């Protein structure tokens, strides 16, 4: 996907949008070659890559660092010949950068500075959690030429206010509040909307009502697209599997097994072999004399 204009177009055509998180250049190349439409450099990086319990530790510096790494991964991939990539089906996905905790709540100047940092680092869209109280700033950001993706439902930056990682919008009042937020974001001009841990019928209703695409995570099949976390899809964190995650690989077991074989080979001296080592250059007869 080359621009935000294509997002609405995809929805109109009924083409589902595939988004995955990733945070570094190596995984960006893998994800892009799989053909994703959007790469989300999410503030989940604080948890998946830096071992925090929630996303609050991610700040603008950290997000810019990881967005730039993903951007470099995609540039490197573009510069290698198609025959050396895993598949020819990839077109450069757009990078969605997460505005981290409170970055849009510290005044307009701070918001604009944060947005400039993340866009210059390589993001083409910024994702913003929540809306209440931020309507004017979001509108200003969008009117300044920065495409924005909304994010409502279980917004991890508010995990302490929400009382934990729980499904949102389950009772009539909470559902009405989510509908109102979705409409307000649409009215602000966001290009797409993430719905996280929202009951499937409510997510479907929001998706049908809005012209912009919805991208669900734990929000059922009625959304216009889906997003999952790289580590979850590949089963890299064996201790953690939310209900909405589908693992496409038992990655933790497979990778640990490969690494264990490396350790064994070092200990048994099976690695390195002669053809994995360098020889001295052949000496000339004069030098040997």
Residue of the chain from 1, 7, 10, 217 that contacts ligand KIV (CB under 6 A): 217
DSSP 127: E
Instruction: Tell me the closest approach of the beta carbon of residue 138 to ligand KIV, in angstroms.
Output: 17
Cβ neighbours of residue 221 closer than 8 Å, sequence gap 6 or more: 200
Among 42-50, 80-88, 136-144, 201-209, which window interacts with ligand KIV (CB under 6 A)? 42-50
Q: Which of the stretches 4-12, 39-47, 118-126, 158-166 binds ligand KIV when contact is defined by CB under 6 A?
A: 39-47
Let me know if 211 is a catalytic residue. Answer: no
Active-site residue among 109, 196, 209, 286? 196
Q: Report in angstroms how near the CB of residue 280 gets to ligand KIV at its nearest.
A: 51
Task: Give the Cα separation of 226 and 217 in Å (integer).
Answer: 6
DSSP state of 94: E
Nearer to ligand KIV (CB atom), residue 29 or residue 194: 194
Q: In whole angstroms, what separates CA 176 from the centre of its chain?
A: 28
DSSP 8-state assignment for residue 280: P
Q: How many CA atoms lie within 13 A of 232 on its CB side?
A: 17
Q: Are 207 and 141 in contact (CB under 8 A)?
A: no
Shortest gap between Cβ of 268 and ligand KIV (angstroms)?
A: 41
Question: What is the rounded distance in angstroms from the CA atom of residue 276 to the CA atom of residue 40?
Answer: 38
Scanning residues 44 to 63, which ones bind ligand KIV (CB under 6 A)?
A: 44
- Segment interacting with ligand KIV (CB under 6 A) among 4-12, 23-31, 40-48, 232-240: 40-48
17, 10 contact by CB (below 8 A): yes
* Beta carbon of residue 214, minimum distance to ligand KIV (angstroms, whole number): 12
Q: Which is nearer to ligand KIV, 94 or 194 (CB)?
A: 194
For ligand KIV, the closer of residues 52 and 139 by Cβ is 52
Tell me the per-residue interface mask from 96 to 135 with ligand KIV, x by CB under 6 A, - otherwise: --x-------------------------------------
Closest distance to ligand KIV from the beta carbon of 236 (Å): 14
Interior angle at CA 125, CA 123 and CA 130, nearest 5: 125
| 8 Å CB contact between 95 and 68 | no
User: Which residues ranging from 7 to 36 are in contact with ligand KIV (CB under 6 A)?
Assistant: 21
Nearer to ligand KIV, 196 or 224 (CB): 196
CB of 217 to ligand KIV, least distance (A): 5
Q: Is 194 in the site for ligand KIV (CB under 6 A)?
A: yes
Q: CA 126: distance to chain centroid?
A: 11
The Cα 23–Cα 31 span in angstroms is: 11
CA dist 170 and 12 (Å) reads: 29
CA distance 118 to 122: 7
Q: Residue 43, interface with ligand KIV (CB under 6 A)?
A: yes
Secondary structure of residue 239 in the 3-state scheme: coil
List of residues contacting ligand KIV (CB under 6 A): 21, 40, 42-44, 98, 194, 196, 217, 227, 229
């Amino acid at each position: 996907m080359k621009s935000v204009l294509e997002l609405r177009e995809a929805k109109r055509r009924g083409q589902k949008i595939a988004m995955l998180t990733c945070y570094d250049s190596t995984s960006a190349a893998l994800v892009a070659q799989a053909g994703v439409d959007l790469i989300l450099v999410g503030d989940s990086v604080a948890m998946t890559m830096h071992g925090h319990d929630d996303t609050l530790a991610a700040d603008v510096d950290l997000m810019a660092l990881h967005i730039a790494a993903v951007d470099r991964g995609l540039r490197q991939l573009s510069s290698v010949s198609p025959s050396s990539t895993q598949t020819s089906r990839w077109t450069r996905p757009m990078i969605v950068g997460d505005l981290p905790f409170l970055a849009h709540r510290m005044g307009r100047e701070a918001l604009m500075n944060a947005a400039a940092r993340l866009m210059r680092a390589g993001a083409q869209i910024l994702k913003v959690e929540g809306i209440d109280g931020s309507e004017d700033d979001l509108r200003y950001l969008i009117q300044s030429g920065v495409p924005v993706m909304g994010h409502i439902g279980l917004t991890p930056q508010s995990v302490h206010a929400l009382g934990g990682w729980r499904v949102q919008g389950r009772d009539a009042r909470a559902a009405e509040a989510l509908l109102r937020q979705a409409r307000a974001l649409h009215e602000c001009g966001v290009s797409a909307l993430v719905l996280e841990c929202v009951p499937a019928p409510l997510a479907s209703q929001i998706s049908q009502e809005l012209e912009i695409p919805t991208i669900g995570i734990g929000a059922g099949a009625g959304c216009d697209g889906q997003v999952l976390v790289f580590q979850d899809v590949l089963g890299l964190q064996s201790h953690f599997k939310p209900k909405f995650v589908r693992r496409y690989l038992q990655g933790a077991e497979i990778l640990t097994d490969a690494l264990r074989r490396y350790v064994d080979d070092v200990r048994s001296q099976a690695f390195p072999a002669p053809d994995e080592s360098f020889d001295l250059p052949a000496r000339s007869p004069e030098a040997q004399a």
